[in-house]
Amino acid sequence: MANYTKISVADGARTELHEALGLTGAEVSINSLPAGAGVPFVHAHKQNEEIYAVLEGNGKAVIDGEEIELKAGDWLRVAPSAKRQFSASADCGIKYICIQVKENSLESYTADDAVMG
């Protein structure tokens, strides 16, 4: 059995990778909103922070009532309890990755966790 899982992701409104890749420590989704569209709900989390990476286009996030403009290349971390909602700009869509992980669960990073050889 291989120690890795590889998939190919087609274009779509939302692709969740936890089942497809067998993720055990994070939830990752790829999201696309067409121009003028938005996520139809406001949400928060009990334990998980979210990290957003904007790949293409632009839009905004409304976090606890504050509007944050987003464009390709932006990264955004949102605390679990923050109420959030995302939308594309009126004239341009947005494509982003959302990484969801349990807040304060990172015990070591790349250099400390690596095993050489």
Any idea which residue has 């087609």 for tokens?
10
Band (pLDDT 50/70/90 cuts) for residue 1 is low
Q: Looking at domain 14-103, which of 2.60.40.770, 2.60.120.10, 3.30.750.24, 3.20.20.210 is its CATH number?
A: 2.60.120.10
Q: How far apart are CA 82 and CA 85, in angstroms?
A: 10
Q: How confident is the model at residue 11 (pLDDT cuts 50, 70, 90)?
A: confident
pLDDT tens digit string along 78-117?
999 999 999 999 999 999 999 999 998 988 877 777 787 8
- Determine the distance from the C-alpha atom of residue 63 to the mean position of all C-alpha atoms in its chain, rounded to a whole number: 15
Neighbours of 82 (CB within 10 A): 16
Q: What's the pTM value of the predicted model, to 2 decimals?
A: 0.87
pLDDT 10s digits, 28-44:
999 999 999 999 999 99
Cα gap 51→85, rounded to integer Å? 14
From the number of C-beta atoms within 10 Å of its C-beta (0-12, 13-18, 19+), residue 34 rates as: exposed
Grouping H, G, I as helix, E, B as strand and the rest as coil, residue 39 is coil
pLDDT at 68 over 90: yes
Domain limits of the chain?
A: 14-103
Mean pLDDT, to the nearest integer, of 7-22?
Answer: 83
pLDDT band at residue 16 under the 50/70/90 scheme? confident
> In terms of DSSP H, where are the helices of the chain?
18-21, 110-113
